[in-house]
Amino acid sequence: MTKSIPVLFALVTLLGLSGCVTQPTATTPTAATSTLGDRATYKLEEIVVSLPLAGSQGPYQNLHITLAVFINPLRESYSYDYEAQGLVRRLEPRINSTVSASLLELDTQTIANTKALRIKAIAEAEKVLANTLRNWTYAADYKIEINVLNIYWTDSSGGREPSPASRW
């Protein structure tokens, strides 16, 4: 019993020393992780357009562009995020065909002009989106942005792998 008293005293002392640790108070406003980042994202199918490219070995080169849509609520809404995402999903063929058609109207391009092509692709996609959002009751409740995930040139010797068919 006498041996257990010093051991018990040592345990109580260690527990007391390990004591309470508090987190430092935040100096900036904090938020729950569920409110950080984009609420919903949707990656559109890659668009491939054959364009004349200055300085290339062949007459045409393939321009590959992949667009993504970022959806974030601006306020409480009677709509759900998945409704906005569903709207974008249904617009995908229209967005891709509009971007493709606008790029096919262009003359010979250069690698240095790729940034301008990126801007043009976003602008054309945003037009399609804006035309549709005008008719959606809850459009003002969301910020829906379109951006380019990938843009690059390849030679025209090969194509891309087909994407799996979407299921309804």
Question: How far is Cα 39 from Cα 73, in angstroms, rounded to an integer?
Answer: 7
Closest by alpha carbon to 100, among 115, 116, 131, 121?
Answer: 121
**What does each C-alpha distance from 63 to 67, 91, 109, 131, 151 come to in angstroms?**
13, 22, 10, 26, 7
Residue 59 lies in a domain: yes
Residue 139 lies in a domain: yes
Where the chain has pLDDT below 70, the residues are 1-3, 11, 14-23, 32-35, 158-168
Cβ count within 10 A of residue 69: 24
pLDDT score at 36: 72
Question: How far is Cα 168 from Cα 152, in angstroms, rounded to an integer?
Answer: 31
Split into its structural domains, the chain has a count of 1
pLDDT score at 34: 64
Residue 94 lies in domain: 42-155
Residue 117 lies in a domain: yes
pTM score above 0.75: no
31 close to 43: Cβ distance less than 8 angstroms: no
